[in-house]
Structure 1
Amino acid sequence: MSEVLQVGNKTIESGEIPVLLKQYGLWGQFLRGVVIDEAIAEISLSEEESRRAVEEWRLQNKLGSIEDRDAWLTNQGLTIEQMEEMILRPLRLEKFKQAKWHPKADLYFIERKQSFDQVVYSLLRTQDQGLAWELYYRIQQGEMSFAECARQYSKGPESQTGGLLGPVALSQPHPQIGKMLSVSQPGKLWRPQALAEWFIIIRLEKYLPAKLDDAMRRRLVEEMHETWLQEQVQLISKSQTVESPAPSKPL
C-alpha cells in the first residue's frame, strides 16, 4: 500500500483515507463534492465570465497584486490552476442548477404550493373543556375579543401576543391546526377542538398565498437541487463499504 500523505509523525496510506473521512464526519461532504464534480463536468464558462469571476474574487480577498496572490498560493499550497478551479466551481454549479432545475420550477411550485402559503392566525389553548366552550361563545357573541381571552386564559406562549401567530408557512403549525386553517376563510372561528392534552380555539386572520416570483424560483431551484444531491449521495453511500485496512504484517 503506497504512502500518500505525511502529517506530522503520521503517515496516511491510501486505504486509510475513506476510513478517516468517516471518522472525522467528512465522508458525506466528500461524496457531495464527487457528485457535484460529475454533474458540472460538461459545464463551461466563457473567457469573460472566468476572467471577471477571478478578478472579483481577488479583489474581495485583497489579492490585487501578483505578489499578494503568489503569497496566498504558497500559504494555501495551491497552484494558479487549482485556485481558478476553486473560484469557478461555484459558478459552474450555479449554471448546472439553473439548466437542470429552473425549467421544472413551475410544476414543482404547483405541487408544493400549499407548503409555501403562509397564514396569520389566532390560537387559544386550555386544558379545561368547559372554559374553552365558554370562551368560544364569548368571542362569537362579541362579549370579549379573541386577544383579551388569549391574554387572560391561554396557557401557551401565544398569550403574550393576544393569541396572534404568524405569518408562518401553512406547513409549520401542528398538522391538525394546519388542516383547519387550510379550509378556512379569514375570520373563521373554529369551535373548541381536542388536540393532545389541550382544547384549542382557532381563528384564521389572514391567508397569504405564495407567489412564483424570482425569489421563489431561486428557492425552488435550491430545494430541488439539494433533494437530488442528497439522493445521489445516499445511493453512493449504500453501494460503498468502507472498512479499516488490515494492519501490515511485521517484517
Structure 2
Amino acid sequence: MSQTLINSNQTITITKEDILHQIKLSCQIPEIVEQIVTRKVISAAIEEAGIEVTTEELQKAANQMRAMSKLKDAQATWAWLKKYGLSLDDFEEIVYITLLSQKLTKHLFKDKVEPYFYEHQLDYAGAIIYEIVLDDEDEAIELFYEIQEGEISFSEAAKEYIQDRELRRKGGYRGKVNRTEMKPEVSAAVFAANPPAILKPIVTADGIYLVLVEEIVKPELDHKLQQKIMFDLFTEWLKQQTEKVQVVSHKIITT
C-alpha cells in the first residue's frame, strides 16, 4: 500500500514502510503492541465463550458507527475510509470487533453489575455543590463567617474570589459531583453535611475549599450507570488479562 500526496511543488509517495518507520520514530511501538495484544485477548475470550453476531446485529452496529462518525451518505463514508487508509472490509472488521467486544462485556459482567453496585454504592453517591477555592486559610475562614452571618452571599463571594470566568459566572456552581471526583478531604466533609449547608474551610494541598452543599444525591442503578459499571469491570478485567500475556519481540521493534 502506498499513498501519493501532491502539492504545488512536488509529488510525495508514502509507503507502508514509511508509515511503519514514522510509528517507530514517534515511539508509538509499545502503544501499538498493547492494542494488538488487547485485540487478541478479546478475540480469544470471544472464541472461548462461543459468542457470535447476526447479520442484523452487524448492520445495526454499522449504522450506529456511521452515525457516530457523522457519515450521512455513501460519499461521506468513502471519504472517511480514504482519510484513514481503510477498505470497506477494514470498516466491517472494526464494526465486527466492536460489536463482539460489547457482547463479551455483557457475557462476562451483566450479572455482576448489581452486586458490585451495592458493594460500592457509596462511590457512586453525588452531591450538588458550589465551591470557591482560596489560597489563604485566614481569608477563607473570614469569608466563611461573612457568608454564614449573611454579610455576603455565596454567589457574591464567588464572583469576587473565583478566577475561572465560567465558574465565576455560575456563582461557583459545580453541579452534581460524584464522591470519587472529589478530593478525599472534601468528600468526607460534603457527605457528612446536612444540606443545605455551607462547610467550614477545608484545607487541601491544592488550596482551601469553601463549599456550599445544596443536596446529597443518592445513587440509582439506572441504565447509564449499569453500562458504566460493566465498562469499568471489563476494562479492569482486560488490564489483568493483558498483563498476563508475554509478548514475543518482533523484528519490527529492533530493526
Task: For 1:52-63, list aligned pairs within 5 A.
Answer: 52-56=56-60, 57=62
| C-alpha contact 1:119 1:168 (8 A) present in aligned 2 | yes
Matching residue's letter, 2:225: M
| C-alpha contact 1:50 1:88 (8 A) present in aligned 2 | no
Residue 210 of structure 1: how far off its partner (Å):
2.0
Matching residue's letter, 2:46: I
Alpha-carbon distance in structure 1 between the residues aligned to 2:121 and 2:36? 33
CA pair 54-118 structure 1, distance change in 2 beyond 3 A = closer
Alpha-carbon distance in structure 1 between the residues aligned to 2:208 and 2:131? 10
- Equivalences, count: 216
Matching residue's letter, 1:40: I
CA pair 200-94 structure 1, distance change in 2 beyond 3 A = closer
Residue 224 of structure 1: how far off its partner (Å):
0.7
| C-alpha contact 2:106 2:230 (8 A) present in aligned 1 | yes
TM-score, with length taken from structure 2 = 0.68
2:218 pairs with 1:209? yes
TM-score, with length taken from structure 1 = 0.69
CA pair 197-38 structure 1, distance change in 2 beyond 3 A = closer
Alpha-carbon distance in structure 2 between the residues aligned to 1:159 and 1:138? 19
CA pair 92-54 structure 1, distance change in 2 beyond 3 A = closer
- Partner deviation per Cα, 1:60-88 (whole Å, 9 max, x = no partner): 6978xxxxxxxxxxx9495xxx9876654
Matching residue's letter, 2:192: V
After superposition, the CA RMSD in angstroms is: 3.8
Residue 185 of structure 1: how far off its partner (Å):
2.0
Task: State the SS of the aligned residue for 1:171.
Answer: helix
Task: For 1:82-93, list aligned pairs within 5 A.
Answer: 87-93=95-101
Counterpart among 143, 146, 152 of residue 151 in structure 2: 143
Structure 2 counterpart of 1:104: 112
Task: For 1:1-251, list aligned pairs within 5 A.
Answer: 23=29, 25-41=31-47, 42-45=49-52, 50-56=54-60, 57=62, 76=87, 87-152=95-160, 154-157=161-164, 158-196=167-205, 198-236=207-245, 239-242=246-249, 244=251
| C-alpha contact 2:203 2:209 (8 A) present in aligned 1 | yes
Alpha-carbon distance in structure 2 between the residues aligned to 1:104 and 1:147? 43
Looking at CA atoms only, which structure, 1 or 2, has the larger radius of gyration?
Answer: 1
Alpha-carbon distance in structure 2 between the residues aligned to 1:141 and 1:77? 68
Alpha-carbon distance in structure 2 between the residues aligned to 1:228 and 1:24? 20
| C-alpha contact 2:46 2:100 (8 A) present in aligned 1 | yes
Alpha-carbon distance in structure 1 between the residues aligned to 2:202 and 2:63? 60
Alpha-carbon distance in structure 1 between the residues aligned to 2:120 and 2:218? 12
- Partner deviation per Cα, 1:26-74 (whole Å, 9 max, x = no partner): 10110011111111104244xxx623235554996978xxxxxxxxxxx
Structure 1 counterpart of 2:77: none
Residue 181 of structure 1: how far off its partner (Å):
1.1
Ranges in structure 1 where 5+ consecutive residues have no aligned partner: 1-6, 11-18, 64-74
Residue 121 of structure 1: how far off its partner (Å):
1.3
Report % sequence identity: 19
